[in-house]
Amino acid sequence: MNTLPGQAKGTAHGKIILIGEHAVVYGEPAIAFPFNATPVEARINKTETQTMLSSSYYTGPLDEAPKSLTNIQTLLAKVKEDLDRPTDHLEITIDSRIPAERGMGSSAAVSTAFVRALFAYFDVPLDSDQLIRYVDISEKIAHGNPSGIDARVTSSDSPVFYKKGRTFESLAIDINGYLIAADTGVKGNTGQAVADVARLVEADPDQTMAVIKKIGQLTLQAREAIAHDRLAKLGELLTQAHTALRQLTVSSAELDHLVAAALRSGALGAKLTGGGRGGCMIALAQSEQQAKIISNTLMEQGAIGTWIHALGEDINE
C-alpha cells in the first residue's frame, strides 16, 4: 500500500484457531479464521536518524530493541539483502490491536503488516507465497517449530482448513452461530507449550500421538459439522478438543475456569484457542443474545476482554 513518497503502510489482522492447534504442528488439520476485530498496521517513513521502531511494546532504535523483537530485526535484514536496498533511515511504527501473547497470532500479524509495509516502501510487488516465506522465518524465531498456520491466516481474508506443508484451502463457515473469544489476561507461552508437547511425544509417544490424532479427527468432524450447519455438534467437538488439549498439558487454571463458566452459562462448546498456557479461549453460542450473556459471564469470571464474532459474517463487535 503506497501513501506519500517516502512513506508506506501494510496491514494484517489477528486470527482465531477454531480447532486443531498443537496437533497441526504434527501434520493434523486445523481450522482457523481471520479476526478482523484485531487489526495491525505498520507504517514506514523515511527519517534522517538511525532506524527507529515505535510500538506499544518498545520505542527506540531498532538495534537496541528487546529480544522479543528479534524477528523484526531479522526480517528487516532479510528484506535488505533480498531487495538490495538501504534500510538505515527508517521510522517504523506498529499499531496493533491484537493482545500480544494471547494465542491470536500477534507475532505473525505484526510480521505480515511489517513485510507488506517494507515492500510498499520500496515499491516492490510482493506475492502471497513470498510474504508467507518471510513470515515463516519470523515465526520460527518466535515459536521454534511453527506449523505455519498463523502466517497464512493473519494475511488471509477467509477462513482456512490447513495441513502443514500440504493443504491450505479456503473454507466457508456459513453456519448460524456466534463465537465469543475471551482473554484470560494471562500471557500465553506458545513456544514453551509447543516444546512441552514435543517432550511429551518423546517421553510417551503412543499415548501422546493418540491424543494428537484424536484432535485431528475432531477437526475433520468439525469441518463436516460446519458443512451441514450442525452448530450443537460443532460445540461438542470444541469441548472435546479442549479436553484433549488439557491432556497435552497446554491449558491453564484460568482457561479451564473460563471454559467451565462458558459451558455453565449455556455455551454449546468451549475451548482454549492458540498456544495455550494462558491467552484466549473461545465459546460457541446459538444466538447473539446468548453470546452476550456468555460474554458478560466471562467478564464477571475474570476475563479482561471479550469479542463476539458472527460466524459466516464479519465481526460485529
Q: Which residues bind ligand PMV (CB under 6 A)?
A: 17, 21-22, 24-25, 103-105, 143, 146-147, 149-150, 188, 190, 194, 274-275
CB of 74 to ligand PMV, least distance (A): 17
Q: Which is nearer to ligand PMV, 21 or 91 (CB)?
A: 21
CA-closest candidate to residue 231, choices 277, 178, 293, 281: 178
Instruction: Please give the grid coordinates belonging to residue 128.
Output: 502471497
CB of 281 to ligand PMV, least distance (A): 12
Q: Which is nearer to ligand PMV, 150 or 254 (CB)?
A: 150
Q: Which is nearer to ligand PMV, 35 or 119 (CB)?
A: 35
Q: Which is nearer to ligand PMV, 8 or 25 (CB)?
A: 25
CB of 279 to ligand PMV, least distance (A): 6
Q: Which is nearer to ligand PMV, 45 or 192 (CB)?
A: 192
Cα gap 215→79, rounded to integer Å: 37
Chain residue whose CB lies nearest ligand PMV? 275
Q: Which is nearer to ligand PMV, 25 or 218 (CB)?
A: 25
CB of 200 to ligand PMV, least distance (A): 13
CB of 161 to ligand PMV, least distance (A): 14
CB of 191 to ligand PMV, least distance (A): 9
Rounded to whole angstroms, what are the CA distances from 215 to 19, 116, 192, 300? 8, 34, 20, 30
Q: Which is nearer to ligand PMV, 195 or 299 (CB)?
A: 195
Q: Which residue has the cell 532504535?
A: 61
CB of 16 to ligand PMV, least distance (A): 9
